[in-house]
């Protein structure tokens, strides 16, 4: 039951400082069955990342819901709703 971890560098709009945020995700086999392939993970692109908030309230960790690529609007949906 391994889960994935997705890490992104986030630029603070006010200070310009870069922080690294992460989201836990489903096991790789779940993504494969849903049709998500390695080529769908576009390293280096600007994205909007949506996560379910972490249970401990940390703003730097949560559960991955979706990734939207700003370059072409392509969206990878991993979880629906708040479950």
Pick from 67, 73, 70: which is nearest to 7 by CA? 67
Please say if the pLDDT value at position 43 is more than 90: no
Separation CA 25–CA 5 (nearest Å): 6
Separation CA 41–CA 37 (nearest Å): 8
Over the chain, what is the mean pLDDT? Answer: 84
Please say if the pLDDT value at position 42 is more than 60: yes
Pick from 23, 9, 21: which is nearest to 60 by CA? 21
Task: Give the residue-averaged pLDDT of 13-21.
Answer: 92
Pick from 20, 43, 36: which is nearest to 76 by CA? 36
Global pTM reads: 0.74
Please say if the pLDDT value at position 80 is more than 80: no
């Amino acid at each position: 039951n391994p889960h994935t971890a997705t890490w992104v560098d986030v630029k603070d709009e006010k200070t310009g400082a870069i922080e690294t945020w992460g989201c836990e995700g489903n096991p790789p086999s779940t993504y494969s069955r849903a049709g998500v392939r390695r080529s769908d993970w576009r390293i280096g692109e600007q994205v909007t990342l949506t996560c379910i908030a972490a249970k401990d309230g940390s703003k730097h960790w949560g559960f991955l819901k979706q990734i939207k690529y700003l370059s072409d609007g392509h969206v990878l949906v991993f979880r629906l709703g708040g479950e």
